[in-house]
Amino acid sequence: MVDRVVATTDYYGNSIVSMNRGWWDYIATIQLEKTASCGLAIKSDVSNGNAEIDVHVGFNEQIQGDIRLNVYLIEDNVTGTGYGFDQRNFYNTDTSSIFFGLGDPIQGYAHNHTLRLILTESQGSPISSEAILSGEYIETFLITVEGFDKNELSIVAFVNNLGPSFAEHEVLNTKKCSIDGFEDWD
Write down the domain spans for the chain: 1-34, 36-77+112-183
Evaluate if pTM is beyond 0.85.
Answer: no
Rounded to whole angstroms, the Cα distance separating 116 from 154 reads 10
Binned at pLDDT 50, 70 and 90, residue 7 comes out as low
Average pLDDT over residues 26-51: 88
Inter-residue contact 140 to 114 (CB < 8 Å):
no
Helix (H/G/I), strand (E/B), else coil: 152: helix
Rounded to whole angstroms, the Cα distance separating 130 from 59 reads 11
Q: What is the pLDDT of residue 34?
A: 78
Residue 7: Cβ within 10 Å count: 17
Percent of the chain exceeding pLDDT 70 equals 89
Rounded to whole angstroms, the Cα distance separating 24 from 21 reads 5
Rounded to whole angstroms, the Cα distance separating 4 from 172 reads 9
Binned at pLDDT 50, 70 and 90, residue 171 comes out as confident
Residue 144 CB burial class (10 angstroms; 0-12, 13-18, ≥19):
exposed
Average pLDDT over residues 14-43: 79
Residue 156 CA, chain-centre distance (Å), reads 5
Q: How far is CA 38 from CA 71, 122, 182, 184, in A?
A: 16, 21, 18, 13
Which of 133, 135, 123, 131 has its CA nearest to residue 161? 123
Enumerate the H helices of the chain as residue ranges: 24-32, 129-134
Binned at pLDDT 50, 70 and 90, residue 14 comes out as low
Average pLDDT over residues 11-30: 71
Which of 26, 56, 25, 94 has its CA nearest to residue 182? 56
Cis status, amide bond into 105, omega within 30 of 0: yes
Which of 114, 115, 127 has its CA nearest to residue 159? 127
Q: What is the pLDDT of residue 151?
A: 96
Task: Please tell me the total number of residues recorded for the chain in this structure.
Answer: 186
Domain 36-77+112-183 of CATH type 2.60.120.260: no
Rounded to whole angstroms, the Cα distance separating 141 from 131 reads 18
Q: Is the per-residue pLDDT at 88 higher than 90?
A: yes
Question: 4 versus 45: which is more confidently predicted?
Answer: 45
